[in-house]
Amino acid sequence: MRVLPLLVALLLPATLFGAAPSEPPGQAWLTGQLLIAAPGMTDPRFDRTVLVMVRHNSDGAMAIVINRPLGERSMARILQAFGEKAPDDSATVPVYLGGPVQLEMSTVLHSAEYRRNGTLDIDGHVAVTASMEIYRDIAANTGPEKSLVVFGYAGWAPGQLEGEMAQNVWFTAPLDVKLVFDADRDKVWDLAMERRTRDL
């Protein structure tokens, strides 16, 4: 299981996860929105999924699924998997399948009041961090107010997501912090569908 390389693997190149290049006028990008699998989704990996769009531009897209729980793990066990020590009484946290790509990598989707080196602010309310510090902070109860520990992510090549949107595979909705972190995971898809807007 790896965590630190995630920033290199996912948050680079800068054109995808940093300063965006010049884009065609009128192009709609979905960074900071929810991506919702349409009822007709044929890929079982994304059936009834809701994702937070971490970044979307002409170089491709990356998102994190928020309603695929994998169970609960103690922070001590997670840190030990990274070769770190943690108190045996560390908090137990739910963990999620963030997508089908690089399942061995972990990151934390969290409320944006928390910042560490390498934190990527998505929309001013939700951010993502892939550094050992955030796991230590969660174990010490000094981490973000709200967080989801995830393994893997969803990624699209340039133009791929736009093609899927044209086939009505996905809906979008404004990002809702309560839905991302607080809603019953079994109800997230239904709640997101109630908020959906037209496709791209």
Q: Using one digit for the tens of pLDDT, what is the confidence trace for 58-76?
A: 999 999 999 999 999 888 8
Question: Burial letters for 41-73: b for 16+ Cβ neighbours within 10 Å, e otherwise?
Answer: beeeebebbbbbbbbbbbbbbbbbbbbbeeeee
Note whether residue 118 is domain-resident.
yes
Note whether residue 190 is domain-resident.
yes
pLDDT of residue 4: 40
pLDDT at 86 over 80: no
Check if the beta carbon of residue 154 is closer than 8 Å to that of residue 56.
no
The terminus-to-terminus CA distance of the chain in angstroms comes to: 35
Domain boundaries, position 143: 5-18+27-195
Domain count, the chain: 1
pLDDT at 11 over 70: no
Supply the CATH number for residue 129's domain.
Answer: 3.40.1740.10
Note whether residue 200 is domain-resident.
no
Separation between Cα atoms, residue 200 and residue 193, nearest integer Å: 15
Q: Each residue of 90-142: pLDDT tens digit?
A: 778 999 999 999 998 899 999 999 999 889 999 999 999 998 999 999 988 89
Considering the entire predicted model, what is its pTM? 0.85
Note whether residue 54 is domain-resident.
yes
Note whether residue 110 is domain-resident.
yes
Q: Each residue of 24-59: pLDDT tens digit?
A: 444 579 999 999 999 989 999 999 999 999 999 999
Query: Taking Cα atoms as reference points, which of 181, 82, 61 lies closest to residue 131?
Result: 82
pLDDT of residue 188: 97
pLDDT of residue 197: 80
pLDDT of residue 60: 95
Separation between Cα atoms, residue 156 and residue 15, nearest integer Å: 14
pLDDT of residue 25: 44
Note whether residue 64 is domain-resident.
yes
8 or 88, which is more confident: 88
